[in-house]
Amino acid sequence: MPPAYFRYILPHNAASDRDILYFPYWRFKGMIFSCVTGGRVDDRFVDTSQQAVASRHFPFSAGLRPQVGKLTFATKKSDGRFIHPDVAHGDVIDLFKNSLTRFLPRPIYHQSYVGDAISLLYAPFYVSGRLYDAVLNKPITNDMPEDLVATLDKSEKIQNETRFFSAICPACGWNLDGEKDASVLLCKNCQTAWQPTNKGFTKLPFVCLTEMGRLKTSLPFWRITADIDDISLRTIADLSRLANLPDLARRKDAQIRFHFWVPAFKVRPKLFLTLCRRVTIAQPRAEGDHKLPEGTIIPANLQVEEASQTLKIILAGLAKPSKVYFPKLNQIRITPRKALFVYIPFNEDHHDFVQPKLNLGLRKRLLTLAGNL
């Protein structure tokens, strides 16, 4: 999704005549799944930040402020001076890996990071004899550190404007439905779905599983077809053997291709993984309408690239016994080949979404809570 990463500004509380200086932090926000001993998959949601320029004078992380402050996008119209990040965006995830895994038991057989890409967060400061935090309006140094000048010299105005494509349907010119973080936008006029890319919108084929009922609410999923090396998982019958689920082998379609299923929306990691497993074990047939579902449509905000990060974690949860498979996870190669965008219809009552054919329910409250994930 354009641009390569988002830049946000934390609002300051300083007097309006202060010359605000923005110090950069890399922020990682997303889910981490780790295969650890005992056949356990550890899941956690993380929102953390770390200096994007090494400095003794500024706080090491932006702390809890990004979660409580209202962030705005940094553009070339933003006032203030911005310190340029030292660490390249591509190297940042490695910085975080150490701090994010130190709580886990060893060995870690496999780990996946899923969710938002890394973003850059500018926190406000100002100089007045010493260095001040412009959120709290409190000094953070006792005097004016001499070597601070070198850091301040790296400040600049923002050059690149955060670009958004106008959300207009390329096919019919109608306004597309979708929030800023949407991974798929919909045109309700010509019944099409669109994926934002660097070059604009690409049309996305989709199917709505109306064979499972014409129900009130539709939830988006990615059905991902992948090549798997070092393990036999090509058909539903293979899944039956691997996961020790004999009922699957008795299905009429046991010889057709196996697919991974991943929610295309963000929820708490535990529920996310449960949905992956439950729908992947069910192996629903992708049959139904090729037009948008009627009723409520839950927006898709997880990109297919992100969803693909979970495939090995799903496999790890399915393969039995895990004692045998966990140590092999590193050697197993999973290459996603094809993705289909699918809406699964759910009934809706006061508290839950329920899919009767899949015998699957989820608390509506958990989807609402996921709004700020």
Which residue among 174, 245, 274, 361 contacts Zn ion (CB under 5 A)?
A: 174
Q: For strand 296-297 and strand 217-228, is the pairing parallel, antiparallel, or unpaired? A: parallel
Considering only the stretches 135-143, 162-170, 236-244, 328-336, report the one whose residues sit in contact with Zn ion under the rule CB under 5 A: 162-170
Least distance to Zn ion, CB of residue 194, Å: 9
Q: What single letter denotes the amino acid at residue 172?
A: C
Least distance to Zn ion, CB of residue 152, Å: 50
Number of other CB atoms surrounding residue 24 within 10 Å: 24
Which residue among 9, 123, 169, 208 contacts Zn ion (CB under 5 A)?
A: 169
Query: Is 373 within 8 Å of 115 (Cβ atoms)?
Result: yes
Q: How far apart are CA 233 and CA 243, in angstroms?
A: 10
Which residue among 172, 180, 200, 203 contacts Zn ion (CB under 5 A)?
A: 172
Which residue among 171, 271, 354, 370 contacts Zn ion (CB under 5 A)?
A: 171
Sign of the dihedral through C-alpha 287, 289, 294, 299: positive
Alpha helices in 200-243 (DSSP H): 236-243
Q: State yes or no: residue 189 binds Zn ion (CB under 5 A).
A: yes
CA distances from 7 to 2, 120, 124, 160, 167 (A): 12, 5, 14, 10, 20
Phi-psi region of 184 (alpha: psi -120 to 50; beta: other; left: phi over 0): beta
Which residue among 4, 136, 190, 369 contacts Zn ion (CB under 5 A)?
A: 190
Least distance to Zn ion, CB of residue 192, Å: 5
Q: State yes or no: residue 292 binds Zn ion (CB under 5 A).
A: no
CA distances from 209 to 182, 206, 213, 236, 346 (A): 21, 10, 8, 19, 10
Which residue in 285, 239, 275, 277 sits closest to 258, CA to CA? 239
Q: State yes or no: residue 50 binds Zn ion (CB under 5 A).
A: no
Least distance to Zn ion, CB of residue 343, Å: 17
CB-nearer residue toward Zn ion: 171 or 254: 171
Q: State yes or no: residue 187 binds Zn ion (CB under 5 A).
A: yes
Considering only the stretches 146-154, 169-177, 207-215, 223-231, report the one whose residues sit in contact with Zn ion under the rule CB under 5 A: 169-177
CB-nearer residue toward Zn ion: 42 or 289: 289
Q: State yes or no: residue 176 binds Zn ion (CB under 5 A).
A: no
Residues that bind Zn ion (CB under 5 A): 169, 171-172, 174, 187, 189-190
